[in-house]
Amino acid sequence: MEDVLTVRRWRRYGADRLYVTQETGARVGSVDLQSGEVVVDDPHFESGLRRAAQAYLRADVAELAMSLPTQSTGSLAPADEAALQAWLGGADWDTIDLAAIRSERGSSLRTRLERLGDEGWQVVHDVPLGRQGSTVEHLLIGPAGIFTIAERLLPGQHVVVEGRTIAVDGRSVSYLRDARLEATRVQGALLAAACAAITVRGVVVVHGDLEVRTVQPQHDAFAITRQDVQAVFRAMPERLDPGRIAAIAHVARQRATWSH
C-alpha cells in the first residue's frame, strides 16, 4: 500500500509556505519558505513531509502529489533515512536548505538548454548586450536557428497568450514585446559581426500556468513553459548545419560582438 501526500504552495500577505496534506485532506504539516521552519502536524509522516517538500521545490508544477510506501512507524528504513539525511544536508533536520534548492531551481532552465548540446545545440549564457548593462539571459543556437531566451518565474499565476500579447492574471505585460526587441538587437549585432543571412527569434519561458489561446505567429516571439523547452526545440525544422552553428556560436562568445 502507499500513502499519497499532496503539496500546495500558499502565498498571501507576505507569507510563502508549502502545505502538505494526505489524500483525505488531513494536514501533515507545512514548510515556511522564508524562515525554513518545518511544522509537523502528524509525526508519522514527518520524513514524508520533508521528502515531498523537497520534491515540490525541485519540480516545475503548481501542485505535487507524491506516493510514499506505507510504514508501520514514522521512521524510514535505515538506508533510506541515511540517504534522506544526506539529501537534506546532514543529521540536523530542523531546517531545509532553501538556498541550495533555490539555486538549483534557478539553474533549471540553464540545465535544460545545456542538455540540448547532445543534439547539436550551443548555448551562451548572460550575453552583455550593449554598453547600458542589458543582458540576454540565454542565447540558444542550433539546428532550428537562433533564439534569445528569457525566463519569467510566475508560479501559481495564470499566464495567457493571445496573438502577439501576453497577460498575467488578467494584467497585460510586455514580455513578448521585450523579447521581440531583444531578438532584434541580437540579430543586428550578429549581422554587424559578419553572421550573414540570419534571423533571431525571442522566446519567453514561463514557470507558471501557461494558456496559449491562439496559434503564435511562426516567425514572431513566442512563449512556452519550462517543461516544454526541450520538446519544442527538438520538434522544430532544421535550418542550420553543424558548421554554421559552430561559426555563429564562436562569434556569439566574443565580447567584441556585443560591445557596440
Extract the C-alpha cell encoding 125: 549564457
Residues 28 and 126 both lie in one domain: no
Residue 40 φ/ψ region, left for φ over 0, alpha for ψ in the -120 to 50 degree band, beta for the rest: beta
Looking at the fold, whether 45 and 174 belong to one and the same domain comes out as no
The domain boundary, picked from 104, 133, 159, lies at 104
SS3 of residue 217 by DSSP:
coil
- Structure confidence at residue 74 (pLDDT): 43
Beta-strand ranges (E) seen in the chain are 2-12, 15-22, 27-32, 38-40, 63-69, 122-129, 134-142, 145-162, 165-168, 171-173, 200-212, 222-225
104, 122, 157: which is the final residue of a domain? 104
Q: CATH number for the domain including 114?
A: 3.40.1350
- Domain of residue 19 covers 2-104
- The SS3 of residue 26 is coil
- A 10 A CB-CB count for 242 gives 11
Model-level pTM?
0.61
Q: Are residues 77 and 205 in the same domain?
A: no
Looking at residue 200, its amino acid is: V
When divided into structural domains, the chain yields a total of 2
Q: Do 100 and 23 share a structural domain?
A: yes
* pLDDT at res. 84: 45
Q: Do residue 53 and residue 150 come from a single domain?
A: no
Per-residue pLDDT of the chain (260 residues; tens, 9 = 90+): 567 889 988 876 667 788 899 888 888 888 887 677 788 887 788 888 888 888 888 776 778 888 876 544 444 455 544 544 444 444 333 444 555 544 444 447 888 898 899 899 999 998 988 777 788 999 999 999 999 999 998 888 899 999 889 999 999 999 999 999 999 999 999 999 999 999 999 999 998 889 998 887 778 999 999 888 988 999 999 999 999 999 999 999 998 999 87
C-alpha cell at 49: 513531509
